[in-house]
Amino acid sequence: MADRYFVQNPIEGQQARLAGAEAHHLAHVMRAKPGHEVVLFDGSGAEFTARVQRVCRSEIDLVVISRDQIDRELSVPLSLGVALPKGDRQRWLVEKAVELGVARLVPLETERSSDRQSPAVLERLRRAVIEASKQCGRNRLMEIDSPRKLPDFLAAAPREAVRLLAHPGAKDCQGVLDGFFNGKQLPRQIVLAIGPEGGFTQAELDLALASGWQSVGFGPRILRVETAALALVATVTARMQHE
């Protein structure tokens, strides 16, 4: 998946333009000259083969040669609500969530979460989404929503979705998934929730269970937030068909 570049504006017609960090990388790291071919994506689900036409100081003009609708998404859309850990660990979580195919990540505000995510932090994480998408080949960007309070997030998940909340000591995740992935139809949507370092409170757990969520466990060890998030996403996505 080398040489993929993200174009901020939707690509229409035969022309495309790279700016900012993407143009800098292509011009100064790859030392691209007119004629150099690259793959572009704009987050719409398509990818484009394009040829460099003109290299300027901070912009690169390209001619679009072909447009291909190439879907590398999961067969069931997956939303992940997570009380984000701090610093590098949140960036790591975002990168891995993109690679595993999460469609939407919702930062959760819970009773025991520490600080709120600032808009600048969320912007940095959106940049990490683009970097991970370049690397893993996704042509749709994982959305990062504005932070939501846990009760709102729990209530907004459709009742027909598979709704799983990770909690130490809960019934083993595999056993719970057996009930949903039983060889018949795949679920239409999956929504997952991971708590903060301090865990969900009993009241939060009770609220989730009362509104039809199921709690799932990953054995007797306490996992860090990002480990639990990836364990849950990987366990669920392993039940989907990968084409």
Amino acid type, 106:
V
Residue 5 makes contact with ligand SAH by CB under 6 A: no
Instruction: For ligand SAH, give the closer residue by CB, 43 or 199.
Output: 199
Single out the segment in contact with ligand SAH by CB under 6 A; choices: 131-139, 152-160, 183-191, 196-204: 196-204
Q: Taking a C-beta distance cutoff of 8 angstroms, is the pair 43, 90 a contact?
A: no
Instruction: For ligand SAH, give the closer residue by CB, 141 or 173.
Output: 173
- Residue 76 CA: distances (Å) to CA of 52, 92, 160, 186: 36, 23, 13, 7
Both tokens of 206, joined, read 């009770």
Residue 10 makes contact with ligand SAH by CB under 6 A: no
Instruction: For ligand SAH, give the closer residue by CB, 30 or 223.
Output: 223
Single out the segment in contact with ligand SAH by CB under 6 A; choices: 36-44, 95-103, 147-155, 191-199: 191-199
- Residue 192 CA: distances (Å) to CA of 2, 27, 130, 222: 31, 41, 22, 18
Single out the segment in contact with ligand SAH by CB under 6 A; choices: 18-26, 30-38, 154-162, 189-197: 189-197
Residue 168 makes contact with ligand SAH by CB under 6 A: yes
Number of residues binding to ligand SAH, judged by CB under 6 A: 17
Q: Return the bridge partners of 67, or none.
A: 48
Within 84-113, which residues bind ligand SAH (CB under 6 A)? Answer: none
Q: Taking a C-beta distance cutoff of 8 angstroms, is the pair 215, 165 a contact?
A: yes
Q: Taking a C-beta distance cutoff of 8 angstroms, is the pair 56, 82 a contact?
A: no
Other residues' Cβ atoms within 10 Å of the Cβ of residue 46: 18
**Which residues of this protein are in contact with ligand SAH, per CB under 6 A?**
166-168, 194-195, 197-200, 217-219, 221-223, 225, 228
